[in-house]
A = this chain, B = another copy of it.
Amino acid sequence: MRIGEVAAKAGVSVRALRYYEQQELLHSTRNPGGQRQYPAGAVERVRLIQRLYSVGLPSRTIREVLPFADSGEVSPELLELLAAEHDGLDRQMTDLRDVRDRLHDCITEARGHHRTASPS
């Protein structure tokens, strides 16, 4: 596959894929003309990268955790990193849930208001 096709299938820009390569998140081989060649699995990998970005992880972290999505190989020090990141995500989730619930309360309360005042 060439870069345009991967971009289209993964729903990202060509520029993004080149950027991922520069950040060493996504590797490619080159054909004789110098154009990038990707295996089929690249699309899935790009989707994973996108999800990791969407969670708020920076390139550096993604670069370090990506290998484990492929193989299960792991060293003790990277184990530490993973655990730390895991804890960070847990805290994020807690905060997020709080805020969401707070909004939910506001919403339901407001719905109650502009319906017919208090129900029970």
A: residues with CB less than 8 A from B are 51-52, 54-56, 65, 68-69, 72, 74, 76, 79, 82-83, 85-86, 89-90, 92-93, 95-100, 102-104, 106-107, 109-111, 113-114
Known contacts A99-B52, A109-B72, A104 near B92 by CB under 8 Å: no
Set B54, B85, B93: member contacting A103, Cβ < 8 A:
B85
Q: Are B107 and A55 in contact (CB under 8 A)?
A: no
Copies in the complex: 2
**A–B Cβ pairs within 8 angstroms, 13 of them:** A51-B95, A51-B98, A51-B99, A54-B95, A55-B95, A65-B103, A68-B103, A74-B113, A76-B114, A82-B107, A83-B107, A85-B103, A93-B100
A93 to chain B, nearest CB (A): 6
Measured CB to CB, the nearest residue on chain B to A68 is B106
Measured CB to CB, the nearest residue on chain B to A97 is B93
A96 to chain B, nearest CB (A): 5
Alpha-carbon distance A93/B113, docked complex (angstroms): 29
For A51, A82, A99, the residue with the greatest tally of chain B CB atoms inside 10 Å of its CB is: A99
